[in-house]
Amino acid sequence: MNKTLRKAIIAGNWKMNKTRPEAKALITDLIGLVKDADCGVVICVPYTNLETALELTAGTNIEVGAENCHWAKSGAFTGEISADMLAEMGVGYVVIGHSERRQYFGETDLTVNQRVRAALDAGLKVILCVGELEAQREFGITEEIVGMQTKVALQGVSEQELKRIIIAYEPVWAIGTGKTATSAQANEVNHYIRTVVAKLYNTAAADALTIQYGGSMNAGNADELLAQEDVDGGLIGGASLKAADFATIVKAASK
């Protein structure tokens, strides 16, 4: 992390976990544990938990995000939620392009870009996920894949709007698998993403961009990953479901 240039942010991605009473218990524990954090703290929760999360975190240092949004403002898209609906509730962040959306729900770089545009237009902040498959890393094309995902997702995003974007580098082979990228691998790709953003915009914009690492980050490995110059926080899946583990990661980012 380089806190002189950019903000460190730890975001939890709860995925499809937690009923409302379970969410209430987790958030209640978390509030006390992360109240002195010296980094941004965000919890991205299922749609059914947004209202609970917003109510419980009001007046605390925890911000609330959703895990996806549709690109249209409204219409015949059964089962979808628009960015305007999230913004109206007071939701601050939305995760877009998570590899599970790409893998199971047909998300493409183009629809990721459309969703990013919709979220920005609604005034939301975006956690934009990019990352290569294991085979792509083995083929030596990690930079091409991650570079392409970044460039397409940021089409039509102005330098001013980029300030509301966080990029999360999430190697797909490391998500939910217990296999973590080494701190050197994470830093190398995060640094590469920053060079891509510098070319698209400029060095100052790239230096100010928060680029997280995500992929089996946990209470045991967070210190080392977050000590890397270009790792500005984490997007945390499994470990965000346990208050103590998530709080330990927040503490690591607060150093």
Return residues touching ligand PEP (CB under 6 A): 13, 15, 170, 175-176, 214-217, 235-239
Write down the catalytic residue from 67, 70, 98, 107.
98
Of 1, 73, 10, the closest CA to residue 249 belongs to: 10
Q: Which is nearer to ligand PEP, 84 or 189 (CB)?
A: 189
Q: Is 98 an annotated catalytic residue?
A: yes
Q: Which is nearer to ligand PEP, 147 or 171 (CB)?
A: 171
Compute the least distance from the CB of residue 131 to ligand PEP, in Å. Answer: 9
Compute the least distance from the CB of residue 241 to ligand PEP, in Å. Answer: 9
Report the amino acid identity of residue 38.
Answer: D
Q: Which is nearer to ligand PEP, 230 or 245 (CB)?
A: 245
Write down the catalytic residue from 67, 100, 107, 170.
170
Q: Torsion angle, CA of 125/253/204/126, rounded to 10 degrees?
A: -10
Q: Which is nearer to ligand PEP, 84 or 130 (CB)?
A: 130
Compute the least distance from the CB of residue 202 to ligand PEP, in Å. Answer: 29
Q: Is 159 an annotated catalytic residue?
A: no
Residue, CB closest to ligand PEP: 237
Compute the least distance from the CB of residue 37 to ligand PEP, in Å. Answer: 19
Instruction: List active site positions.
Output: 98, 170
